[in-house]
Structure 1
Amino acid sequence: MTKRKKLSNGQSRRIQANHEKRLSTAKQSGTKNDDSWQSDNLGVAESALVISRFGQHADIETSNNERLRCNIRRTVSNIVCGDRVIFRRAKVSAGDLAGVIEAVEERTSQLTRPDFYDGVKVVAANIDQILMVSAALPEFTPNIIDRYLVACEDMGIEPILILNKTDLLSADTLAEIDAVLDIYRNIGYRVHLISTKTGQGIDELKALLVDKNSIFVGQSGVGKSTLVNSLLPDSQILTQIVSENSGLGQHTTTVSTLHHLPSGGNLIDSPGIREFGLWHIDPDRVTWCFTEFREYLGGCKFRDCKHLNDPGCLLTTALKEGKISQLRFDSYHKILLSMEDGRAGARNPRV
């Protein structure tokens, strides 16, 4: 397995500066000396599930299905939706805060994304499968699908592709998109076509989620929140239509939230994002994350083969022989190029 490159000195300095700033803010606010969180005002340690995270507070669910809002010890970092945590109740509560989270249990998996200021940021924890939602509106973009697939392969979390809003497509357009999706089916990915208006694929979607910890990801406006509403009619999640002016989706979910499904399993509704950066991953690792490339890796004539016009390249030979799709091959190189731009942005972040 290819090792990931370490963060640059500049990135490390920015991350450390941000951490020190947060600690300083916590000290100034008196969190450290708040009597509500001293040991003599706290009960025994209990286990709980993080339902949502709000700054220095988190909503948790206990083993007795109680929903509580807790403070987070400043020594505990990186708590996210889906985490299992250890908390202690306050004997005398502080406002609407019922206790304090003191530790995070080891994760089985985590969904991450790079952040220019904080390095690699964890989005959700203990995920069994990632459902990547795309749609014809705002735009069906295979390259974004490939970005998510790289992230899933890198993290070892099973991806499932969802084409939503099929009711908005003409028969011809649906056939064209489905032909593209055949590329993913042929390399082993599961693909499902969904419409909340017609009910197409909803029963199959529900079956996919049984007894699993799942998360929807995808661009804003592809209908993730509408899908959650169809699975959880009582969730009352806000939805918006795609902007007619920009053609871009509007951000409707602002905080990741975990929902329990009636049939079993949990579903995390996460904020929509229009891009999924991969600049924190080593380029060789990205190549490995294209699953159909793996059988050709290590066999090129030159060890530093760029898989473009290099003589003796097994990937370009496989492309010419039709064993690798042109769409995925082009997407791979677009990702590598965007990673270079991302690393440049990390060295010179916008302020």
Structure 2
Amino acid sequence: MAKQKKLSKGQSRRIKANHEKRLSNADSAPAKSKADKWQTDNLGAPENAVVISRFGQHADIETDDGDVLRCNIRRTVKGIVCGDEVQFRRAKVSEGDLAGVIEAMHERRSQLTRPDFYDGVKVIAANIDQILMVSAVLPEFTPSIIDRYLIACEDMGIEPILVLNKIDLIDEQGLANINKILDIYRALDYQVLLVSNITGKGIDELKDTLVDKNSIFVGQSGVGKSTLVNTVLPNAEILTKEVSENSGLGQHTTTVSRLHHLPSGGNLIDSPGIREFGLWHLDVERVTWCFKEFREFIGGCRFRDCKHLNDPGCIIRQAIDEGDISQLRFDSYHRILETMADGRAGARAPRI
């Protein structure tokens, strides 16, 4: 048998266009498209809701009246994530386990993103007011990890809050030494909380910080993030149970972001998969800007391509010598640039 000829690029494009046209026609066919059934008189008036969680082509939502429903998502509505504010129409007669259809998404106030080697920059959650970055005195307090989180927060325009956990595990002298480092961040107007879930120190202040805000916790393994989430959110299963009762479906076992109400007001989005944010998708100039104490000096160096190391006429280097920028943050800046270069190399490498 003769070997089949490979399709040309033009043939491939035409086949793809015809395939998409058939899909479009199928979507608009009254008797053939399941999604089109939602365009009948079976739907009620438009209502507003918040996305509690997203699963494939449907989402769990909570209405303004507090109803928790599972809805289909129209194909024209792209990229819905936990925390999105949407407009939906309730089904007068439910289609199986789905109670309505999401038809539009309101403009986001903010969005939490992270880079992905395969999909580019992915949105993880929407309308976040603050990110609580949890670190701990043990196994190791690492300022460079804090700086990575801060770059991500500054880039996304979301307020960061530094939470130092497990302070019961260190003596007064050790805590005093860490506080000297944290004073660098306090001087930059970053909020810092010192907490212990064992002694209860700082827990009330932590809870007060969450009131009337949409918050999310991030932190590496071992820092006690999950324990803090359980402390501020003792009834984390409430919305999950309501969804199961209303839809007849069990809880999904995949690790997805889920929005919960806090007892004192506000919401917490629990996203188990978020431990840190990759930065390799950012350019060097953006990272420099995300170090907020660098901003007033940007553009003042003698050379436009200044690397801010030992370059002659570097105004940032001069600011360090004069005590306007901390050496610790400056060193962290260059370490982060080195790891970003490694990350870009990994992104370009072929995936096996």
Give me the TM-score of the superposition, normalised by structure 1. Answer: 0.82
Q: Which amino acid aligns with 1:39?
A: Q
Deviation, structure 1 residue 209: 1.4
Q: Which amino acid aligns with 2:109?
A: T
Which residue of structure 2 aligns with residue 147 of structure 1?
148
Q: Which amino acid aligns with 1:283?
A: V
Q: Distance in 1 between matches of 2:320 and 2:350?
A: 37
Which residue of structure 2 aligns with residue 295 of structure 1?
296
Which residue of structure 1 aligns with residue 122 of structure 2?
121
Distance 1:203 1:97, change over 3 A: same
Deviation, structure 1 residue 227: 1.4
Residues 253 and 271 of structure 1 are in contact (CA less than 8 Å); yes or no, is this contact kept in structure 2?
Answer: no
For residues 140-191 of structure 1, the C-alpha deviation after alignment (integer angstroms, 9 at most, x for no partner) is 2211211111111112211110011222223333233222211111221110
- Residue 93 of structure 2: SS of its match in structure 1? strand
Residues 149 and 276 of structure 2 are in contact (CA less than 8 Å); yes or no, is this contact kept in structure 1?
Answer: no
Q: Which amino acid aligns with 1:286?
A: V
Which residue of structure 2 aligns with residue 15 of structure 1?
none
Q: Which amino acid aligns with 2:161?
A: I
Which residue of structure 2 aligns with residue 97 of structure 1?
98
Q: Which amino acid aligns with 1:96?
A: D
Distance 1:95 1:137, change over 3 A: farther
Which residue of structure 2 aligns with residue 224 of structure 1?
225
Residues 59 and 72 of structure 2 are in contact (CA less than 8 Å); yes or no, is this contact kept in structure 1?
Answer: yes
Which residue of structure 2 aligns with residue 244 of structure 1?
none
Residues 220 and 273 of structure 1 are in contact (CA less than 8 Å); yes or no, is this contact kept in structure 2?
Answer: no
- Residue 117 of structure 1: SS of its match in structure 2? coil
Q: 1:255-334 counterparts in 2 under 5 A?
A: 255-334=256-335
* 1:201 partnered with 2:202: yes
Which residue of structure 1 aligns with residue 11 of structure 2?
none
Q: Distance in 2 between matches of 1:305 and 1:236?
A: 53
Deviation, structure 1 residue 137: 3.8
Q: Distance in 2 between matches of 1:171 and 1:253?
A: 42
Q: 1:19-168 counterparts in 2 under 5 A?
A: 33-34=33-34, 37-40=37-40, 41-168=42-169
Distance 1:187 1:343, change over 3 A: same
Q: Which amino acid aligns with 1:179?
A: K
Give me the TM-score of the superposition, normalised by structure 2. Answer: 0.82
- Residue 214 of structure 1: SS of its match in structure 2? strand
Distance 1:77 1:87, change over 3 A: same
Q: Which structure has the bigger radius of gyration?
A: 2
Q: Tell me, which stretches of 5 or more residues in structure 1 are unaligned?
A: 1-19, 238-251
Residues 218 and 275 of structure 2 are in contact (CA less than 8 Å); yes or no, is this contact kept in structure 1?
Answer: no
Q: Distance in 1 between matches of 2:71 and 2:38?
A: 14
Residues 42 and 89 of structure 1 are in contact (CA less than 8 Å); yes or no, is this contact kept in structure 2?
Answer: yes
Superposition CA RMSD, Å = 2.4
Deviation, structure 1 residue 274: 4.2
Q: Which amino acid aligns with 1:147?
A: R
Which has the higher mean CA deviation after the structures are superposed, 338-347 or 287-296?
Answer: 338-347
- Residue 338 of structure 2: SS of its match in structure 1? helix
Distance 1:273 1:83, change over 3 A: closer
Which residue of structure 2 aligns with residue 4 of structure 1?
none
Which residue of structure 1 aligns with residue 236 of structure 2?
235
**Matched residue count:** 312
Deviation, structure 1 residue 272: 4.2
Q: Tell me, which stretches of 5 or more residues in structure 2 are unaligned?
A: 1-15, 239-252
- Residue 207 of structure 1: SS of its match in structure 2? helix
Q: Which amino acid aligns with 1:34?
A: K
- Residue 38 of structure 1: SS of its match in structure 2? helix
Residues 220 and 274 of structure 1 are in contact (CA less than 8 Å); yes or no, is this contact kept in structure 2?
Answer: yes
Q: Distance in 1 between matches of 2:34 and 2:254?
A: 32
- Residue 70 of structure 2: SS of its match in structure 1? strand
* Percent identical: 73
Deviation, structure 1 residue 322: 2.5
Q: Which amino acid aligns with 1:131?
A: L
